[in-house]
């Protein structure tokens, strides 16, 4: 490591809270799907800033929209009308299922899910929630009770409202948990942090029916799967399921902090002004960025691209899984959200570190899963070069 890197680490240790276990990388700039550290080392980024940089780092259209908006109007009180927020809501209305109509903007995925839980409570006047084991919905105090991962939830059990947990993908278990006390079931169409778990066919349809039968609502958390990531605008488009409440974040803003919960006219009519919100919620700068991201995805046909490239990645990694079945359990995913499940957690850690040393950033999640979720516009040759490295490391380490 260089002196410049050591100096950053040392200075940070003096002033930062221990919020994360950092990688030994200090990034300085990015362009498309490549990033460079402070010593000029180049990496291919298969994490897209945790599934956020949907159109790559510093896309020129996004950079100039942000710069233009920054010279026009960055922030206002949310009490006034602004054009960028309206344009974004209209665009979202066009790409979401027929029944989903109304947007409520917030600043993070967790806040979107908080809003969704509050809305479900208002709409049903019930207070119980069903969630899935292995789920991730954010870390704020309301949604943390819905996190099906003990490591995040257990430490706060004294001060949270816990959901009823059912195994992900197990429809019968969900059906028996969703009763007349339940306001909503909250679920990811594909579990992301939980290890890129794709549920069995018919699961979401079954959940929608079970919720409807019990008078409960279905909240689909598409914070990670939405905005083209799975090869459709939304992961629920694959099955045609229309959620009662939909949450979006991450890829929506392309890097600016904006998220939303959305619902039908009827469901959304049960909240009142002041029930939820935030100082920065849907501010002009973030809204303009998000509207630009949606426009670029549409103009560059990136949803179809994510479907095609995702298939390519999965096929390559499934072939690897067959070749090296003693090391790789499987490769799975939907669109450009792909997980390679390795058999050994220690080995997964060394694969993760070694790929980084060789200039490829991937994410390690759920202990044994290498998650690959690059920008939807990653050039195919860069993607293949990065996959060559991931494969070589898994084969040879
Ligand atoms: C499915 C899902 N929901 C919610 C969140 C929380 O989003 P944020 O970190 O923006 O609060 C995440 C973050 O990883 C996520 O993957």
Pocket test for ligand 1, best of 116, 249, 339, 373 (most atoms within 8 A of CB): 249
Separation of CA 30 and ligand 1 centre (Å): 22
pLDDT of residue 133: 98
Rg over CA atoms, the chain: 21
The DSSP output letter for 141 is: T
CB 361 within 8 A of CB 389: no
Whether 221 is catalytic is yes
Residue 262 domain flag: yes
Structural domain count of the chain: 1
pLDDT tens for each residue of 289-322: 999 999 999 999 999 999 999 999 999 999 999 9
Angle between helices 284-299 and 83-95 (to 10 degrees): 40
Comparing 17-21, 136-140, 207-211, 316-320, the range with the smallest average pLDDT is 17-21
**Total number of residues shown for the chain:** 397
Q: Which atom of ligand 1 is nearest to the CA of 259?
A: 10
Q: Cα(182)–Cα(185) distance, rounded to whole angstroms?
A: 8
Atom 8 (ligand 1) nearest CA: 109
134: CATH: 3.40.640.10
Ligand 1: residues within 6 Å at CB?
108-110, 113, 136-138, 188, 192-193, 221, 223-224, 249
pLDDT of residue 78: 87
Can you give the residue range of the structural domain that contains 156? 61-299
Residue 11 domain flag: no
Average pLDDT score over residue span 168-196: 98
The sheet with strand 363-365 has its strands ordered as 328-334, 337-342, 369-372, 363-365
Residue 379 domain flag: no
The tokens for 336 are 């450009």
Whether 373 is catalytic is no
Residue 368 domain flag: no
- Residue 80: pLDDT band (50, 70, 90) is very high
Whether 347 is catalytic is no
Residue 361 domain flag: no
pLDDT tens for each residue of 36-52: 999 999 999 999 999 99
Residue 25 domain flag: no
Catalytic residue from among 129, 136, 261, 373: 136
C-beta atoms surrounding 78 within 10 Å: 15
User: Would you call 329 exposed, middle or buried from its count of C-beta atoms within 10 A (0-12, 13-18, 19+)?
Assistant: middle
Residue 37 domain flag: no
Residue 29 domain flag: no
């Amino acid at each position: 490591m260089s002196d410049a890197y050591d100096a950053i680490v040392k200075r940070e240790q003096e002033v930062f809270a221990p919020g994360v276990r950092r990688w030994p990388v200090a990034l300085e700039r990015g362009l498309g799907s490549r990033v460079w550290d402070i010593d000029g080392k180049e990496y291919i980024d298969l994490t897209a800033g945790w599934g956020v940089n949907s159109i790559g780092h510093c896309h020129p259209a996004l950079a100039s929209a942000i710069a233009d908006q920054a010279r026009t109007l960055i922030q206002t009180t949310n009490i006034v009308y602004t054009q960028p927020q309206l344009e974004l809501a209209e665009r979202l209305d066009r790409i979401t299922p027929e029944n989903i109509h109304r947007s409520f903007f917030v600043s993070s995925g967790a806040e979107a899910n908080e809003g969704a839980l509050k809305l479900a409570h208002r709409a049903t006047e019930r207070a119980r929630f069903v969630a899935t084991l292995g789920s991730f919905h954010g870390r704020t105090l309301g949604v943390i009770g819905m996190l099906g991962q003990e490591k995040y939830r257990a430490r706060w059990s004294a001060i949270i409202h816990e959901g009823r947990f059912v195994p992900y993908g197990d429809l019968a278990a969900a059906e028996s948990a969703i009763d007349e006390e339940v306001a909503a079931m909250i679920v990811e169409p594909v579990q992301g942090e939980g290890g890129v778990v794709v549920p069995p066919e018919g699961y979401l349809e079954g959940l929608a029916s079970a919720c409807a039968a019990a008078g409960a609502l279905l909240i689909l958390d598409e914070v990670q799967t939405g905005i083209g990531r799975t090869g459709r605008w939304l992961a629920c488009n694959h099955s045609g399921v229309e959620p009662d409440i939909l949450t979006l974040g991450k890829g929506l803003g392309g890097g600016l902090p904006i998220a939303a919960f959305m619902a039908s006219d009827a469901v959304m009519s049960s909240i009142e002004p002041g029930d939820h919100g935030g100082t920065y919620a849907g501010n002009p700068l973030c809204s303009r960025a998000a509207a630009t991201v949606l426009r670029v995805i549409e103009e560059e046909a990136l949803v179809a691209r994510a479907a095609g490239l995702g298939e390519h990645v999965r096929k390559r990694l499934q072939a690897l899984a067959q070749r090296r079945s003693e090391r790789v359990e499987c490769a799975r995913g939907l669109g450009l959200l792909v997980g390679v499940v390795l058999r050994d957690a220690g080995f997964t850690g060394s694969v993760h570190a070694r790929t980084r040393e060789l200039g490829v950033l991937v994410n390690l999640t759920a202990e044994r899963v290498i998650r690959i979720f690059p920008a939807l516009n990653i050039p195919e040759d860069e993607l293949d070069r990065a996959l060559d490295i991931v494969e070589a490391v898994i084969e040879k380490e």
